[in-house]
Structure 1
Amino acid sequence: MKKYYLEEIENSDYINVFEEIQNNFEQDDNDDWFTTDKADFDWWTKLADSIAYLEEHDVDYKDSDINELADYITIAERS
């Protein structure tokens, strides 16, 4: 079973702060976070890239009504 590591996500710094990540990733013997679920890995990658896009393009998303993590993706797609 292939392991997809959190550190493989280019913009992982943007998502490391979310507690929800612990629901989808687990730690290996070296304390590195990984998942075996490709769909989860892809979703977290999209979230990280969306937040990076918002930051890089100075989109004022912090005052937006963000109720779920997916809202970051929605805001980025609309920007």
Structure 2
Amino acid sequence: DSYLRIDRIISAAEMTDAEAIHPGYGFLAENSHFAEVCRDCEIEFIGPSPEAMDLLGDKINCKRLARKAGTPFDT
């Protein structure tokens, strides 16, 4: 399960001088902590910012933002 180990992914990226990481689909792609660790290590996370993930990952907050912006959505 090394593909889920953030420390190993960051270590591999640093050892290979990777400039960016694409998290693929699933767990790490939706993990704001992983995106934040990438940013802290100055590795580009190819995906939304940790802040956007936290804000839009919560359906209640997302609906609240949509209402505030006047964006129609299904309930």
TM-score, normalisation: structure 2: 0.31
Whichever structure has more helix as a proportion of its residues is 2
Q: Which has the larger radius of gyration?
A: 2
Greater relative contact order (Cα 8 A, min sep 6): structure 1 or 2? Answer: 1
